Chains A and B, each alone.
Chain A
Amino acid sequence: MRELTIALVGNPNVGKSTVFNALTGANQHVGNWPGKTVEKRTGVLRPPAARAGEAALSTTPTVTIVDLPGTYSLSAYSLEEEITRSFIVEEHPHLVVDVVDASNLERNLYLTAQILETGAPLIIALNMQDQAEGRGVRVDAERLSRRLGGAPVVSLVARRSEGIETLRKLIFVRLGQLAESASK
């Protein structure tokens, strides 16, 4: 059985804990209060539900998700930033899932830009689509992906569990692709 690790990052209060709970089935406390997660917590990513008549993938790896503290940047000025940064650049997670608040894209993307610079394989989870729409903000996910070096972008409303299954599948697909390109 392969053991893979993915990191969950994002600014404070973008719904990271909600995404974490949805992906792992954990019951971590969710608050409308930035900085809820002060230590990194881990959970096991549940594999996508097999479709009817389809045998469960025998090669499905065990994927550990590490929920890192919310930060605005990767500069090591505070403990949270230091924890998050050293995990990404020194522990080399197989994949980084960056949860981004679609209604505050400009502020959120600074962290994304810094993660891109580290060269870590990235998936962008564009969360809070409902709030963004409420504010009249429409994000072109496909274009965003192209501008961010081809990192896949998934739209979510994590609070209502919308898009979580897509994200879950994408994580497994992406991990598979990365494994394949590594073996070439």
Chain B
Amino acid sequence: MSVIAPAQRTQQITIRYPDAIEAEIAQLEAAILENQWLAATYNPRWLAIQLLEGDATLHRKVSDSPGAAPILATLAAGRARLAATYGEDIDVALVNCRYEFVHQVVQDTVEQTHRRHVSKSDRLDRVVTHPVWGIPIFLALMWIVFKVTIDVSAPFLNWIELVMTVPIANWTVAMLSLVGLGETWVASLAVDGVIAGVGGVLTFVPVMLALYLTLAMLEDCGYMARAAVVMDRLMRKIGLQGKSFLPMVVGFGCSVPAIYATRTLENRRDRILTGLLAPFMSCSARLPVYVLFAAIFFPQHAGLAIFAMYLLGIVIAVVVGLALNHTLFKQADESCFIIELPPYRLPVARNVWRQMWDRTASFIHNAWTIILTVSIVLWFLLAIPARGGEGAFAEVPVEDSIFGAVARTIAPVFAPLGFGSWQATGSLMTGFVAKEVVIATLAQVYHVETPAEADAPPPTVIEDARLIVASFVQAAIDTLKSIPLVIGVNLFEAEAAPEPTALMSAIRNDFGATSGGRGTLAGLAFMAFVLLYTPCMTAVAAERHELGTKWMWVSVIGQFAVAWLVALLIFQGGRLFLG
């Protein structure tokens, strides 16, 4: 026995074309056989047919091969002769022959035992993919996905935060105390750097699981293909296609799964463009920032101000999408959108389960290194004193740390936007870790104590364990309770937790000072900046993984530039407009 020679091909002719075409195929085939390289690589008859059909890719490959001139001459002559009979549509003639062949084969081999009636699937599709009715159905389903993701995951998110901050942190400190490192900087690094970083990754896990669960169910039941059909016309306007809509919707929950959701697009161009636009959708981590700033600067119209941010994100995505579509992502020719509508079926638990875990695990696997690194680096920046003698390592006040010094250096960049203080700058820097950290940093740098941290006697391990279990049960109950609320709209009152007024007045005073008395405009510019600037490091890690390092940088730098310009327009434009 020997290895099958790769060049061995079956030489049977299965599809016979009209005699005029066959004559040209034969001539061209003969010319190709003269060319050793081409004859060794391709089936000559097949190549001849493709060339006659006008295949541009193969034409280029043949032209680039040595000694192609006789083939190209034969091809040109052959096409000219065929044009006399078939006009410009030689390719159509060839394709039709193939269809005719297929049709004949089907006639010969397929027996239709009973008349095909309109299936349930077809009847459902008449409504679901209807040009008018399809859109509200789609929006309703997306709303449910969005709500389930946020509401179902929220209690578990709090649970993970609780577990990471209280028991795990306590246990770590206790264990370090055993080796005499309890009150040192090592404990601080472990708790505020490593555990905070790991916790940062883990808090995303419930969101990802909930999101992938709902998406997997929609996907497995066959709806996703319909959704793509419904949204195709709208998305096409910004150079995307129907399937791009899904990552955009997901982006309102969290940019990270949104970027991973681009994987369902086949075409690399569409994946990148969608991945670049998805972070403009205002993710749930940005909401607490809007809530705080809206309460400070727009106490009468907080809901409206928050809603405006969501809207602004969509508008900017459309504008950027249009701009990219006409520049970097110009399409040579509009690709047509063909999607097969798979039959509806009940989601298979095994598929849904596997997809949910696979995607979430892939996220954790890819995100944890970058997040841990950034968290530790940030901790060191906050721990190392910038000026000698003013506070020891790990005990230095924020403004005297390297972090404070860096913030002070960068601050002038934001001066034209109305918030050029080092405090605001510093909060934007930590906002890169996670957008909701902006508020924690503001509280820290304005020296406002966060209220919840009462000094209780250290709990025992058993108490901690009980706390973990009890709070998990509570989280599960809260999740179940939240399911009926999915249909309800509670966007505006949900997270409006009372913030310490000391922080609010500190921010108001500071923004008033840095903006020359235009605090409200500066606040609005800050909100827009938080909405639009560089996504958090987890999202950046996702971008690197899905889109590649180059596009990650395009996003990091591009979004910063867009945010800066929009905030500038708001602040300076507002100043001009209001006189």
Q: Which residues in A have some Cβ–Cβ distance to B below 8 Å?
A: 2, 4, 11-13, 27, 29-36, 38, 59, 69, 72, 75-80, 82, 89-90, 92, 94, 105-106, 109-110, 112-114, 116-122, 131, 135-140, 143-144, 147-150, 175-176, 178-183
Residues of A within 8 A of B225 (CB): 33-34
Q: How far is the CA of A148 from the CA of B104 in the complex (A)?
A: 11
The answer on a CB contact under 8 Å between A13 and B342 is yes
**B42 at interface by CB-CB < 8 Å:** yes
Residues of B within 8 A of A32 (CB): 219-222, 342, 345, 351
Residues of A within 8 A of B342 (CB): 13, 32-34
The answer on a CB contact under 8 Å between A89 and B106 is no
Write the nearest CB–CB distance from A8 to chain B, whole angstroms: 17
Residues of A within 8 A of B10 (CB): 119-122, 149
Beta-carbon nearest neighbor of A95 in chain B: B4
| Known pairs A32-B345, A148-B14 / 10 extra A-B pairs, C-beta < 8 Å | A32-B351, A77-B335, A94-B6, A113-B101, A114-B98, A121-B8, A138-B113, A144-B109, A147-B105, A183-B2
Closest 8 CB pairs of A and B: A119-B9, A92-B6, A136-B114, A119-B43, A76-B57, A136-B113, A109-B102, A144-B109
Residues of B within 8 A of A38 (CB): 263, 266
Write the nearest CB–CB distance from A160 to chain B, whole angstroms: 12
**B115 at interface by CB-CB < 8 Å:** yes
Q: How large is the interface on B (under 10, 10 to 19, 20 to 34, 35 or more residues)?
A: 35 or more
The answer on a CB contact under 8 Å between A27 and B115 is no
Beta-carbon nearest neighbor of B355 in chain A: A29
Contacts A13-B340, A119-B43 known; A113 to B14 CB distance under 8 Å? Answer: yes
The answer on a CB contact under 8 Å between A110 and B99 is yes
Bitwise, B333-362 to A at CB < 8 A (1) or not (0) is: 001001110110100000100110010000
Which of A13, A59, A137, A175 contacts B112 (CB under 8 A)? A137
> Which residues from 319 to 343 on chain B have a C-beta closer than 8 Å to any C-beta of chain A?
335, 338-340, 342-343
Residues of B within 8 A of A179 (CB): 1-4
Write the nearest CB–CB distance from B298 to chain A, whole angstroms: 43
**B224 at interface by CB-CB < 8 Å:** yes
The answer on a CB contact under 8 Å between A78 and B355 is no
Contacts A27-B354, A106-B102, A178-B4 known; A143 to B108 CB distance under 8 Å? Answer: yes
Residues of B within 8 A of A77 (CB): 335
A selection of 23 A-B contacts at a CB cut-off of 8 Å is A4-B3, A30-B351, A31-B220, A31-B351, A33-B225, A35-B339, A36-B264, A76-B55, A76-B58, A78-B335, A79-B268, A80-B266, A89-B42, A105-B109, A110-B99, A113-B15, A120-B9, A139-B110, A140-B111, A148-B14, A149-B12, A179-B1, A179-B4
Q: How far is the CA of A119 from the CA of B45 in the complex (A)?
A: 9
Beta-carbon nearest neighbor of B222 in chain A: A32
Residues of B within 8 A of A147 (CB): 104-105, 108-109
Write the nearest CB–CB distance from B363 to chain A, whole angstroms: 14
The answer on a CB contact under 8 Å between A79 and B266 is yes
Which of B3, B15, B116 contacts A136 (CB under 8 A)? B116
The answer on a CB contact under 8 Å between A139 and B109 is yes
Residue from the set B2, B14, B109, B339 with the largest chain A CB neighbour count within 10 Å: B109
Write the nearest CB–CB distance from B555 to chain A, whole angstroms: 21
Write the nearest CB–CB distance from A110 to chain B, whole angstroms: 6
Beta-carbon nearest neighbor of B114 in chain A: A136
The answer on a CB contact under 8 Å between B42 and A131 is no
Residues of B within 8 A of A110 (CB): 98-99, 102
Beta-carbon nearest neighbor of A131 in chain B: B343
Q: How far is the CA of A140 from the CA of B105 in the complex (A)?
A: 11
Which of A135, A137, A182 contacts B4 (CB under 8 A)? A182
Q: How far is the CA of A79 from the CA of B494 in the complex (A)?
A: 45
Q: How far is the CA of A119 from the CA of B343 in the complex (A)?
A: 33
**B300 at interface by CB-CB < 8 Å:** no
Residues of B within 8 A of A121 (CB): 8-10
> Which residues from 83 to 127 on chain B have a C-beta closer than 8 Å to any C-beta of chain A?
98-99, 101-106, 108-116, 119
Residues of B within 8 A of A90 (CB): 41-42
Q: How far is the CA of A59 from the CA of B105 in the complex (A)?
A: 37
Residue from the set B3, B7, B219 with the largest chain A CB neighbour count within 10 Å: B3
Q: How far is the CA of A149 from the CA of B12 in the complex (A)?
A: 7
> Which residues from 40 to 60 on chain B have a C-beta closer than 8 Å to any C-beta of chain A?
41-43, 45-46, 49, 53, 55-58
